[in-house]
Amino acid sequence: MKKYSLEISEDEAIILFEFFARFADTNRLNFKHPSEYITIQQLAAKVEKTTSAMFKEDYKEILSKAQKRISNGFEGNLSNDNAQVGWIHKIISDYFWPEFIDINGMIFIKSEYSKVAKIPTDPIEAECFINHLHILDLFTHSADLPDDPFWDTEHPDFKDAWNVGKHISEMWKEKLERDFPMDNFRIYLAKSDNPIVRFHKVRKNHINWFDKESNSNQSENEKNKIIIIE
């Protein structure tokens, strides 16, 4: 079997490392920066110069044999034939219509609870700490700014994230009512930062999250950026 060598620059190696490391973490093959697209294109151009197999009449057979040799001994399962489908499924099951768990009377999003080693002792603080979601973190976007306030609230991506947050809030409301019909919940959607949606259970003798003194002192302008769903 022929062997080929490809030379890449230090910059290209760094870009490729970041690209494939992100793929390993998210199972999503997508470009987040023009440098990634350019590097992949340059790599593809170098590969094309190494072999003429793709121009042969029996290319499909050549490709099939190459695939079998490369995958020989692989016993794992591909997470999904379509990475985007797998990502969409994860987004829906983890965030849009999540599985909730009851831990000593506290209600948590299961996928988020598993990420936290230690939770606050106050139940409302604990629920708001764990059950919060930064909407823009779910997607590739261009709404970030290099300096404070760090988010361009007029950018179409930010506006889309805000609308997504509204839908997630309503879906959480429906799911919580269905799963815990005897309990009442408050869901908050905040626009002052990367749009954040969070919830907690309403309890007697406990001050609701946004009614706490630290939050009630916020300016009226800030308060107008909070949607409360009960």
**What percentage of the chain's residues is helix, strand, coil (to nearest 5)?**
50, 15, 40
Convert the pLDDT of each residue in 10-40 to its tens digit.
998 998 888 888 877 776 777 778 788 888 8
Q: What is the pLDDT of residue 48?
A: 77
Residues facing 229 on adjacent strands: 187
pLDDT at 77: 60
Tokens of 191: 């626009």
Pick 127 or 70 by higher pLDDT. Answer: 127
Burial class (CB in 10 A: 0-12, 13-18, 19+), 161: buried
Residue 106 has pLDDT above 90, yes or no: yes
Question: If pLDDT is split at 50, 70 and 90, which confidence band does 56 have?
Answer: confident
DSSP string, 155-186: SHHHHHHHHHHHHHHHHHHHHHHHH-TT--EE
Task: Return mean pLDDT, the chain.
Answer: 83
Q: pLDDT tens digit string along 190-209?
A: 887 889 999 999 999 899 98
Confidence of residue 108 (pLDDT cuts 50, 70, 90): very high
Cβ atoms of 22 and 32 closer than 8 Å: yes
Q: What is the pLDDT of residues 209-230, one digit of tens each?
A: 878 655 555 545 554 566 777 5
Model pTM? Answer: 0.60
The one-letter amino acid at 5: S
Whether the CB-CB separation of 19 and 40 falls below 8 Å is answered with yes
Is residue 117 scored above 90 in pLDDT? no
Question: What pLDDT score was predicted for residue 99?
Answer: 92
- CA separation, residue 99 to residues 20, 57, 171 (Å): 30, 52, 12
Q: What is the pLDDT of residue 19?
A: 85
CA–CA separation, 142 and 132 (whole Å): 22
Whether residue 83 has pLDDT greater than 60: no
pLDDT of residue 173: 92
Measured CA angle at 48 (ends 47, 54), to 5 deg: 120
Whose tokens are 């179409």? That residue is 156
pLDDT on residue 230:
59
